[in-house]
Amino acid sequence: MVSRELIERAREFHGHVCPFLVLGLRASEIAMRELEVGKAGLAESVGENLLAIVEVNNCFADGVQVATGCTFGNNSLIYVDLGKNAVTLLRRGDRKGVRVYVDAELLSRKYFSEEVNDLFEKVVVRREGSEEDVRKLSMLWEELGFAMAEMPEEEFVIQEVEVVEELERAPIFESVRCSKCGELAMATRIMYVDDVPMCLACADKAVNAVIGRGISKLSMPLYKVLRSK
């Protein structure tokens, strides 16, 4: 069961309580228990000793970050763009891990009311909801989130997995100054035009970005600097 305290911590991070946020918490807790590890603390987050692999960039992924302590910023969260509600947890140096998958269709058919499914369709999918619909949905959504905290474990697919290839630690790269904008960028994100270093933004290169649809190419420049304060 996910504790109320953990859900509140997740709300602070995620902005709201919703079913997939709590499912991310719950799936992570199952994986942590199976792997006999706790939340990443000082040693784990500095040494990247605990790794969480998420396969989706939605609310579920925020639940994983809050519960496991493996985050985007501490390089212990690996995002694999498969579009599935699943998390795999493993200790670095040990290829055996635990993967927990959640089947959204099964859950919504079984636990989500018709009312909430219809509202979701109207407000989120078709973007046609009135203010009242939005309020109603967020209330029902939060209720459902709290209900997910007690989701029976049989509703999750729990797998023992072995990673085929060991995942490298985040390499430390030197920084190189772009000759055009004067900003520092990681050496691997610098290109040389006539031997002059340029950041990818100034070189107008398309770069990989995680956006709503997953990892995609974004063409540069992304923004124009209007003025520096």
Site string for Zn ion, 183-202 (x = CB under 5 A): ----------------x--x
Among 10, 21, 54, 70, binds Zn ion (CB under 5 A): 21
d(Cα 100, Cα 160) in Å, to the nearest integer? 9
Per CB under 5 A, 17 contacts Zn ion: no
Decide whether 30 or 59 has the Cβ nearer to Zn ion: 59
Q: Show the site string, 71-110: x = touches Zn ion by CB under 5 A, - = not.
A: ----------------------------------------
Q: Which is nearer to Zn ion, 181 or 187 (CB)?
A: 181
10 scored as a contact of Zn ion (CB under 5 A): no
3-state class (DSSP) for residue 64: helix
Output the smallest distance, CB 119 to Zn ion, in A. Answer: 15
| Closest CB 200 distance from Zn ion, rounded Å | 8
Closer Cβ to Zn ion, 46 or 147, answer by number: 147
Using rule CB under 5 A, residue 18 touches Zn ion: yes
Q: What is the DSSP string of 103-163?
A: -HHHHHHHHS-HHHHHHHIIIIIS----HHHHHHHHHHHHHHHHHHTT--GGGEEEEEEE-
Distance CA 51, CA 71 (A): 9
Question: Would you call 98 exposed, middle or buried from its count of C-beta atoms within 10 A (0-12, 13-18, 19+)?
Answer: buried
Of the candidate residues 80, 181, 206, 211, the single one contacting Zn ion (CB under 5 A): 181
Residue 176 in the binding site for Zn ion (CB under 5 A): no
Q: How far is the CB of 17 from Zn ion (least distance, A)?
A: 8
CB atoms within 10 A of CB 167: 13
Residue 129 contacts residue 123 (beta carbons within 8 Å): yes
**Region of 1-9, 23-31, 59-67, 210-218 interacting with Zn ion (CB under 5 A):** 59-67
CA distance readout (Å), 180 to 102, 146, 216: 47, 51, 25
Q: What are phi and psi of 138, to 5 degrees?
A: -65, -30
- Name the segment binding Zn ion (CB under 5 A); options: 23-31, 104-112, 176-184, 219-227: 176-184
Give the residues lining the site for Zn ion (CB under 5 A).
18, 21, 59, 178, 180-181, 199, 202
